[in-house]
Amino acid sequence: MSNKAYLEIGGERYEFPVITGTENESAVDIKTLRASTKIVTIDPGYKNTGSCESAITFLNGEKGILRYRGYAIEELAKHADFLEVAYLLIFGELPNGEQLEKFLSDIRKESHVDEEMKKIIDAFPRTAHPMGVLSSMTSALIAFNPSSVNVSSEEAMYHAIVRILAKFPVLVAWTMRKVMGLPREYGDNSLGYVENIHKMMFRHPHEEYRKDDLAIEALDQLLILHADHEQNCSTSTVRIVGSSHAGLFASLSAGISALWGPLHGGANQAVLEMLEAINEDGGDTAKYMAKAKDKSDPFRLMGFGHRVYKNFDPRAKIIKKAADSLLDDLGIEDPILDIAKGLEKEALEDPYFVDRKLYPNVDFYSGIIYRALGIPVEMFTVMFALGRLPGWIAQWREMRLRNEPIGRPRQIYIGANERPFVPIKKRK
Ligand code: ACO
């Protein structure tokens, strides 16, 4: 492909460089467009806009490829653990034994969350959505860790990073324990990272914690599969908030809010609620397929479709297999899983879904695993946030280290032209 692009406006011809990434993706570099032509581009939803150059995650939606720092998601899900993947995403390389040990030990030193934070979480009504609670609690952490805000050196960034990797799982566990009416407790620094999260979430006040290898393995894998996904809605939010130098925790809190929406991470809760509704309605999948295709009906098949994947979502493939084997191992027969499989089969044969390249996404089967693990449905998106944490951190760190400018898109104004002010008495 030529490394130049040409644009003709009003008889003038302008030349722009074409840049190419390591996987041969190309982009027209329009940094000088407005300065040289006085015009801007418009692209609602950023469907054709690259917001940055990034070395973290590569995905090819047509081929169903997802790689973190060059490693295939299938290999990482099979061979790595979540903390190794977090290190890989944030620092660029898989850690050796010593590096991983130091990373975990630095995280452990920061695992205390100020007791005053318990008062904040206690003040929320029991019915508050856990995503709202998590976002607020993450923001509240800033008040207790002010030195984490103004970080420009790599060392200061590292401290902010290990702090949040230590404290965020405590917030997640407290959020779930609030939903379940259980006391807010701390973890156990002698345990592995994910095992500790499992303990903090599930330990019953009157029982010894018993390690559950199956559950920990399933949780670890789900967290890896959610760990990063390049410039999606929440990640772009984290980068854009961080670009004002607002600090890591504030950027993450904004990212959590962006993830909450049902068109993004909130879909995992919406999928399970949809499957439950279909089950309660007699399991008539055909009826819901028809609703999803009816343009006068706002109903969408939740967990289907993706802005980028137009072939299959490689994460969905792994999760479907994991859901099958976990339910098998736990001896659970869940009618919801059968409904999900039925819907998937029908959709994959239906021209409406085939023509629009709509396939199950990461959220379609993840809720079935969360449910089997005993996680309440309103906590599903919180679990997604826990998995996405290293990705958000990695993207924020990359943005800061590259000294990216503040994010500030342009617009095309379509409102009223200048008009004289009308005093209130004269208004109609
Ligand atoms: N059910 C029925 N029809 C759908 C669905 C669906 N789940 N998804 C897309 N379509 C249809 C649209 O109506 C549209 O049809 P048209 O061309 O006849 O108008 C066409 O497919 C293209 O859909 P868009 O909404 O334009 O695609 P976009 O890339 O903007 O949206 C999105 C992607 C938001 C994921 C969409 O597919 C959707 O709403 N899916 C359901 C929600 C969901 O599962 N979200 C999780 C995504 S994964 C994640 O964020 C972690």
pLDDT of residue 243: 97
- Is 266 close to ligand 1, i.e. is its CB under 6 Å away? no
Residue whose pair of structure tokens reads 């939606």 in the numeric block: 61
Q: How far is the CA of 391 from the centre of ligand 1 (A)?
A: 23
* Pocket mutation for ligand 1, best pick of 48, 230, 358 (most atoms within 8 Å of C-beta): 358
Reported pTM: 0.93
Report the 10 Å Cβ neighbour count for 398: 20
Taking phi first (over 0 means left), then psi (-120 to 50 degrees means alpha), and beta for anything else, what does residue 141 get?
alpha
Phi first, then psi, for residue 60 (nearest 5°) are -125, 105
Report the 10 Å Cβ neighbour count for 128: 16
- Is 258 close to ligand 1, i.e. is its CB under 6 Å away? no
* Distance from C-alpha of 54 to C-alpha of 39, rounded to nearest angstrom: 26
13 has which bridge partners? 8
Instruction: DSSP letter for 114, please.
Output: -
- Is 290 close to ligand 1, i.e. is its CB under 6 Å away? no
CA nearest neighbour of 49 among 240, 258, 269:
240
- Is 177 close to ligand 1, i.e. is its CB under 6 Å away? no
- DSSP string spanning 205-220? TTS-----HHHHHHHH
* Distance from C-alpha of 216 to C-alpha of 202, rounded to nearest angstrom: 11
Q: How far is the CA of 378 from the centre of ligand 1 (A)?
A: 22
- DSSP string spanning 181-203? TPPP----TTS-HHHHHHHHHH-
Q: How far is the CA of 233 from the centre of ligand 1 (A)?
A: 14
Task: Name which residue sits closest to atom 41 of ligand 1, judged by CA.
Answer: 302
Q: How far is the CA of 366 from the centre of ligand 1 (A)?
A: 18
pLDDT values of the chain reduced to their tens digit, one per residue, 428 residues: 679 999 999 899 999 999 999 999 999 999 999 999 999 999 999 999 999 999 999 999 999 999 999 999 999 999 999 999 999 999 999 999 999 999 999 999 999 999 999 999 999 999 999 999 999 999 999 999 988 788 889 999 999 999 999 999 999 999 999 999 999 989 999 999 999 999 999 999 999 898 899 999 999 999 999 999 999 999 999 999 999 999 999 999 999 999 999 899 988 888 999 999 999 999 999 999 999 999 999 999 999 999 889 888 999 999 988 988 888 888 888 888 889 888 989 998 999 999 999 988 888 889 889 999 999 999 999 999 999 999 999 999 999 999 999 999 999 999 999 999 999 999 99
Let me know: does 221 contact 372? Beta carbons within 8 Å: no
Q: How far is the CA of 228 from the centre of ligand 1 (A)?
A: 20
- Is 301 close to ligand 1, i.e. is its CB under 6 Å away? yes
Task: Name which residue sits closest to atom 20 of ligand 1, judged by CA.
Answer: 356
Let me know: does 310 contact 61? Beta carbons within 8 Å: yes
* Distance from C-alpha of 339 to C-alpha of 19, rounded to nearest angstrom: 46
Task: Name which residue sits closest to atom 10 of ligand 1, judged by CA.
Answer: 305
CA R_g for the chain = 23
- Is 46 close to ligand 1, i.e. is its CB under 6 Å away? no
Token output for 417: 């032209």
Let me know: does 302 contact 271? Beta carbons within 8 Å: yes
* Pocket mutation for ligand 1, best pick of 222, 361, 382 (most atoms within 8 Å of C-beta): 361
- Cβ neighbours of residue 407 closer than 8 Å, sequence gap 6 or more: 51, 239, 240, 243, 244
pLDDT of residue 3: 92
* Distance from C-alpha of 138 to C-alpha of 387, rounded to nearest angstrom: 15
Q: Which residues are identified as catalytic? A: 306, 363
pLDDT of residue 32: 96
Task: Name which residue sits closest to atom 4 of ligand 1, judged by CA.
Answer: 300
- Is 289 close to ligand 1, i.e. is its CB under 6 Å away? no
- Is 300 close to ligand 1, i.e. is its CB under 6 Å away? yes
- Is 274 close to ligand 1, i.e. is its CB under 6 Å away? no
Alpha-carbon dihedral angle through residues 211, 216, 218, 221, given to the nearest 10 degrees: -160
pLDDT of residue 40: 96
pLDDT of residue 129: 96
